[in-house]
Structure 1
Amino acid sequence: MKTLLTDGPSNLYATEMEQFGRLTGHWATQITYYPTNGSPARRVSGEWEFSYALEGRAVLDVWQWPGHEELLPAGRAPGQECGLCVRIWDPRLQLWRFTFHGTARGDVVHMYARQIDDEIVMERAAGSDLIRWTFTDITTDTFRWRNERSIDGGHTWRLDQGVSARRLR
């Protein structure tokens, strides 16, 4: 696994790698799920870890809830989530290619990502819906992330999930 993770970005595309690379490290998260049926929002704690990978040409992350401290002794239970994200800069497209693998439900999500002003926006179509995942308010020690869906071609967006993250030392 020494080949998988690395300490920093490749000199190739170093500026682009920093878009996600500034998130490298270990984060505590507060995750809020907003049900579509009008039920009250559900909140859980989790962890998110980011690292440079593949000779500094990719950024990987592992997303999980609950965090390590709250996991059940017997392992994962229904409703718990652990996922792997792979982000690779595509110099030809000038975009990030992004893949999420969610182990709890077998989800595989492919998206494209780019920086827009101070945000990192990942987008995809899911049937007739548009899905947008956005990193925002990124500082050295905090960031926010949101998962939104549009059913009207991007005219309006509904918040499905929000994350508030704080860097762990």
Structure 2
Amino acid sequence: MTSPFLDALGADGPSADRAGKMDLYGRFIGSWDIDVRQFSEDGKERRRAGEWHFGWALEGRAIQDVWIVPPRGELRHGDAAARVNSYGTTLRVYDPDIDAWRIQWTDPVTRTFLQMIGREESGEIVQLGTRPDGQLARWSFRDITPDSFFWRGEVSADDGKRWRVVTEFTARRRPSSARA
């Protein structure tokens, strides 16, 4: 499906004025299947499948993704009212003024909205922000290869002294998904 809106949003690649800097997240362009593990405060684990799609946006000055759990096509048990499904988007924009990425996560299903700052740290990508409840949030991409990565979501209620894992994704690139 094409539309004037999607044509205006999408881009064929990174903008020349951000050369090199877009590579941090640009390596994820394409489609991924994800194995999702969610951990409640009492330690119970829930495991589900999902899908994650990354693309160039806004004349190649941003990378946008869509994160869907469970994948489309499956029965989406628990609908939006149960707040267990996820269908949201992240907009990542490199900001030369701070030499880092400004990130906005929006999930209208779970009514989750989060702003973060992302940077490369020792070969990993670490995003930091503060949730509406005041807890710190840390999202990290680790063990990154051309066809796989591990993503972890953590929270801290004590200003980063201790972190609790809330979500982990193991991602595998779809064979038909072209890399950037």
TM-score, scaled to structure 1 = 0.92
Which residue of 1 is the match for residue 57 of structure 2? 53
**Alpha-carbon separation, structure 2, partners of 1:138 and 1:12:** 25
* Alignment-mate amino acid for residue 145 of structure 1: W
**Alpha-carbon separation, structure 2, partners of 1:25 and 1:101:** 20
Which residue of 1 is the match for residue 3 of structure 2? none
TM-score, scaled to structure 2 = 0.86
RMSD: 1.6
Select 2:13's aligned residue among 3, 8, 11.
Answer: 8
Q: Report sequence identity in percent.
A: 37
Runs of 5+ consecutive residues of structure 1 not aligned to the other structure: none
Which stretch shifts more, 126-135 or 59-68?
A: 126-135
Q: Deviations over 1:9-63 (max 9, x none)?
A: 111122110100100000000000011023x200010000000111110000000
Which residue of 1 is the match for residue 117 of structure 2? 112
**Alpha-carbon separation, structure 2, partners of 1:138 and 1:8:** 20
Which residue of 1 is the match for residue 148 of structure 2? 142
Runs of 5+ consecutive residues of structure 2 not aligned to the other structure: 1-5
1:43 maps onto 2:47 in alignment: yes
Higher helix share: 2
Aligned structure 1 segments of 4 or more residues deviating by more than 4 angstroms: none
1:22 maps onto 2:22 in alignment: no
**What SS does the aligned partner of 1:153 have?**
coil
**Alpha-carbon separation, structure 1, partners of 2:157 and 2:113:** 21
Which stretch shifts more, 87-96 or 77-86?
A: 77-86
